[in-house]
Structures are given as C-alpha cells and as structure tokens.
Homo-oligomer: A and B are copies of this chain.
Amino acid sequence: MPHQDLQLLGHDCGSCPIRHRAVCARCDADELQQLEHIKYYRSYQAGQTVIWSGDRMDFVASVVTGIATLTQTMEDGRRQMVGLLLPSDFVGRPGRPAAAYDVTAATDLVMCCFRKKPFEELMTKTPHVAQRLLEMTLDELDAAREWMLLLGRKTAREKIASLLSIIARRDASLKLKSATGAVAFDLPLTREEMADYLGLTLETVSRQMSALKRDGVIGLEGKRHIMVPDFDLLVEEAGDDSDGGFLV
C-alpha cells in the first residue's frame, strides 16, 4: 500500500501529536476493502480551483498532501476564507449535491476522492464511518468557533500570531526543535491568503509581520520561512486562553 494510503487511513500516525482526522482511522479490513473500491486520486497545481461554490459535487475527499482553502466571496468581491484543509482533512458533505464554497489548491495538492453515492451507502451500513465523520465535523466546528473569536475580537497583531501558531502546531516540522521551545516552518499561504483567513487586508498583514519581526517574536528568512525562537511567547501574543487550541 503506497504511503498516501497509509496516511489517509490513519495508520502511520501512532506518534502524531495532533488529533488524527482521517476518515477511517478505526475501520476494519472489510470496510477498508470497500473504501478501496470507490476511491481515486486527483492532483491539482498550486492556485488551481478544485471546485467552485455551487458546482455539482459527486465526491467527498480527503487531503493527502498539500493545502487547500475554502473561501466565500460576496458579489462585490470581498473574500473570507472559511476553511483551511491540511493533509488528512476532509471536504464535502454527504447529503448535499452542490459545493457550498470555493475550494482552491493553495499549494500543489493531492486529494483522495470517494465517489459520493457509494460512500453514503457505506456510511449507512457502517456506524464507524458516520461516527468518525461526526467526530471530525465536531472538531471542525470547534476550529470554526475559535476562528470566530479571532475574527470578531482579536487585534491584527493577535490574529497574525494566532495564525502562525495554528500553522506551526499542525506542521510536522514542528517536532524538530520542540524541546527548546523553538520552531521553524514554511508559510503555505501568500500575504493575501493570510489576509483572507484573518479578515484583514494584505497590507495590514505585511505590516504586522514586520512588527512581530522587529519585536523579536518571529524571524523571517525570505518571505515564507518563519523561525519562532519561543513558541510560548508567540502563543501569548495570540491572546489565547485555551489549552493550546486542542480541547479534550
């Protein structure tokens, strides 16, 4: 079984520090066999649109590698990102024929798609899958609510710090230096995408990034590589009172 299958199915992550989000982490062999029959892979280049809001969507999918975004757009062009999909995250809604948001590849992207009809059938037969999906959806709902606090009440500086710590936490390379409290990672988003995530303009994002750099909270190498000397300090800047963003 190729690597991405393992990742998708959640069996290579015994030491994964974050809650694992793949669809069928607890499926048995027979169920896996059935999923095997209805799945196929699709690749997208960075910047490519996966689906437009309103399009017919006859599959559900899981991100294998790369990053995708969900965004909403108003008639006059104002845009708000409403979802950031990292590897193992799930897209698509059983029981809805059309996509509700634009899905875009932020980086080169590989998705594992399941044909919707048979997936839904599998869901009615195997309680595991529905329950796992419920768990994942509840996690997403929690993330959305954390995000709402960010959008509604945080300052620009706090928003940036929050986003950086969210990305750092979900990025595997985090593990490299975690003992010392220092972290380094590559930003998968442009300044504009960050702005769409945070409900800011790209200019404000740029200014606040510079400010965090000036104040020694982060280091910048080029435009994308972020070095965080003290992760706790970053989290403090983010203004979070939660237990690091992962409840339970």
Chain B residues closer than 8 Å to A199, beta-carbon distance:
151-153
Tell me the number of copies of this protein. Answer: 2
Contact segment of A4-12, A42-50, A129-137: A129-137
Q: Tell me, yes or no, whether A233 is within 8 Å of chain B by CB.
A: no
A178 to B134, CA, bound (A): 36
> Closest approach, in angstroms, between the C-beta of A140 and any C-beta of chain B?
6
> Closest approach, in angstroms, between the C-beta of A192 and any C-beta of chain B?
14
Given contacts A80-B153, A130-B130, A248-B96, contact A239 B148 (CB under 8 A): no
Q: Tell me, yes or no, whether A3 is within 8 Å of chain B by CB.
A: no
Q: Tell me, yes or no, whether A74 is within 8 Å of chain B by CB.
A: yes
Given contacts A93-B138, A124-B127, A127-B124, contact A78 B248 (CB under 8 A): no
Instruction: Please tell me if the beta carbons of A98 and B248 are within 8 angstroms of each other in the complex.
Output: yes
Which partner residue on chain B sits nearest A120 by CB separation? B131
Q: Tell me, yes or no, whether A212 is within 8 Å of chain B by CB.
A: no
Chain B residues closer than 8 Å to A76, beta-carbon distance:
239
Q: Tell me, yes or no, whether A219 is within 8 Å of chain B by CB.
A: no
Which residue of the partner chain, among B95, B148, B198, B247, contacts A147 with CB atoms under 8 Å? B148
Which partner residue on chain B sits nearest A142 by CB separation? B100
A-B CB contact pairs (8 Å), 10 listed: A72-B146, A72-B149, A82-B145, A83-B145, A95-B135, A101-B145, A124-B131, A130-B134, A137-B137, A144-B148
